[in-house]
Amino acid sequence: MMRESVQILEKKIFIKRDDLLDFGITGFNGNKARKFLSLLDSQYEVFVSFGGNQSNAMQVLAALAKARGKEFFYITSEPPKFLRTNPMGNFAFGLAHNVRYVFAPAGSRVEVLENLAREVFAQQYKRYGERALFIPQGGSEELAMRGMRELVRELCEMIESKASSDIAESKKSKALDSDNVWSRSGASGDLLSTSDTNLLQANCNKMIESLSTGGVIESRESKRVDLGNVCTRSGGNGGFAPIDDTQEQRSCNTIMLFITAGSGVSARSFVRAQCEMRRECENGQCESKNAGDMELITLCCAGEIGGVGRTLCADFAFGSLQAEVWAMYHKLLAQGIEFDLLYDCVGFVLLERALEQGYFSDEDLAKPWVFVHSGGLLGNASQILRYERKFGVSFLHAQKIPHKKNPL
């Protein structure tokens, strides 16, 4: 059964299932596939990068390199003896996909890894010249732009399809069980009805179903707003505004979009892509006219990030074992979707804290929320073992774990 939404403290959150992206390459999905989409058909012959031994970026680059017959040198610290003798997760994936590992001393700082990676790249550049590519840890904004434009476009299509009368009529005339009849289709990871391929659906089909058939939400004044009847075109950006409350200037089409971030490459490149596409539309070159109808909230898992709009940030070290993160993993898993423990589960902890502390306005809460699944599930193999050693396998008491109050 495919699930496309979860609920946190009674707030329904629709999931953009980027973990299900399908480019015909095993392991090439999620947030990192977005980052490296521009390399899918590149002329480079060798990649050189660096980072942790369970890096999601490493996994995606390994999948791409093997599928396209390229060499991939990856510099990381010497793994623990247990991992070397019992490969698992992304490290095992790398070994199986012919990654040319270069190990620095155990516990090496990132600066040491980068310096060694640049030395390796210099050697490869002598062999391959411009066909060799150095990739910073986690990628770069320039590399990520193509994939992020695709993400913006897909989300814009989702917003547009919500307002499509064809979809509304089709949904009204058919008793569709959206938990059962949606299947993955195409390289974008979109979800299409298995019984009606003409429906212009995207991953958040349950959001579209709810909104395009007259679903109701609470407005700021706690009145019931029928989105199927009160929305009309307003303004040059193609947004929708309630015709009975134009003073609010609130777009019925606007969504709250949540992306987890480490270094912030994905979030910054998403903002850049959104701005570029909005400007293109203003100049009459619209690729996606709803590019401005999304408010991004960046969930920072490894420290504050600038230039990405509103942020919620973790107050604990990246990768540290936290009881509330382990509890959140199980809460989400019980609802039918697995998320990675390093990024997405941390992001949902931040959302739950924010909801408990009243961070979001009534207007925020009235909008549809969409969370972009970052993928990275292969890395859970080693993370789960770490959590089980510290907190135990069973987490039936997950709902009772008190969390620290985080000033937002």
Q: What is the token pair recorded at 155? A: 């989300």
Higher pLDDT, 170 or 128: 128
> Does residue 405 lie within any of the structural domains?
no
Domain limit, last residue, from 138, 172, 199: 138
Domain limit, last residue, from 123, 138, 153: 138
Mean pLDDT over the full length of the chain: 78
Distance CA 239, CA 250 (A): 9
Distance CA 85, CA 60 (A): 23
If asked whether residues 375 and 272 sit together in one domain, one would say yes
Amino acid at 329: Y
Residue 317's region, left for phi above 0, alpha for psi from -120 to 50, else beta, is beta
Distance CA 31, CA 150 (A): 12
| Size of the chain, expressed as the number of residues it contains | 408
> Helix (H, G, I), strand (E, B), or coil: what is residue 1?
coil
> Does residue 375 lie within any of the structural domains?
yes
- Does residue 351 surpass a pLDDT of 70? yes
Question: Contact, 76 vs 103, CB < 8 A?
Answer: yes
> Does residue 407 lie within any of the structural domains?
no
If asked whether residues 364 and 227 sit together in one domain, one would say yes
Distance CA 348, CA 335 (A): 13
* pLDDT (tens digit per residue) in 251-303: 444 899 999 999 999 999 999 999 998 888 888 777 666 777 889 999 999 99
Range of the domain at 66: 37-138
Mean of pLDDT values over 171-196: 35
Q: Which CATH number goes with the domain that contains 107?
A: 3.40.50.1100
- Residue entry with tokens 């997405």: 344
If asked whether residues 257 and 325 sit together in one domain, one would say yes
Question: Contact, 30 vs 40, CB < 8 A?
Answer: no
Question: Contact, 274 vs 152, CB < 8 A?
Answer: yes
Higher pLDDT, 166 or 149: 149
pLDDT of residue 163: 52
Question: Contact, 238 vs 294, CB < 8 A?
Answer: no
Mean of pLDDT values over 319-333: 95
Distance CA 37, CA 22 (A): 12
pLDDT of residue 282: 81
User: DSSP labels for 212-271?
Assistant: HTT-EEE-TTS-EEEHHHHEEEETTTTEEEETT-GGG---TT-EEEEEEESSSHHHHHHH
If asked whether residues 14 and 131 sit together in one domain, one would say no
> Does residue 384 lie within any of the structural domains?
yes
If asked whether residues 176 and 266 sit together in one domain, one would say yes
Distance CA 324, CA 346 (A): 9
For 27, residues 6+ apart whose C-beta sits below 8 A from its C-beta are 59, 60, 62, 63, 93, 97, 378
Domain limit, last residue, from 138, 165, 190: 138
> Does residue 87 lie within any of the structural domains?
yes
If asked whether residues 65 and 187 sit together in one domain, one would say no
If asked whether residues 194 and 102 sit together in one domain, one would say no
pTM as predicted: 0.75
For 145, residues 6+ apart whose C-beta sits below 8 A from its C-beta are 38, 269, 272, 273
pLDDT of residue 160: 77
Q: What is the dihedral of CA 266, 268, 269, 272, to 10 degrees?
A: 160
Distance CA 315, CA 303 (A): 8
Q: How far is CA 9 from CA 142, 155, 206, 329, 358, in A?
A: 37, 25, 19, 15, 12
* pLDDT (tens digit per residue) in 184-236: 333 444 433 323 322 223 333 333 333 333 332 333 333 222 222 222 222 22
> Does residue 408 lie within any of the structural domains?
no
Q: How far is CA 5 from CA 29, 170, 202, 356, in A?
A: 19, 22, 13, 20
If asked whether residues 234 and 112 sit together in one domain, one would say no
pLDDT of residue 3: 66
If asked whether residues 18 and 71 sit together in one domain, one would say no
For the chain, the domain total comes to 2
If asked whether residues 160 and 291 sit together in one domain, one would say yes
pLDDT of residue 395: 57
pLDDT of residue 293: 84
Per-position b or e across 231-255, b if 16+ CB within 10 A of its CB:
beebeebbbbbbeeeeeeebbbbbb
pLDDT of residue 394: 60
Q: What is the token pair recorded at 138? A: 């986690």
If asked whether residues 297 and 150 sit together in one domain, one would say yes
If asked whether residues 18 and 78 sit together in one domain, one would say no
> Does residue 30 lie within any of the structural domains?
no
Q: How far is CA 88 from CA 41, 62, 85, 381, in A?
A: 29, 15, 10, 7
> Does residue 78 lie within any of the structural domains?
yes
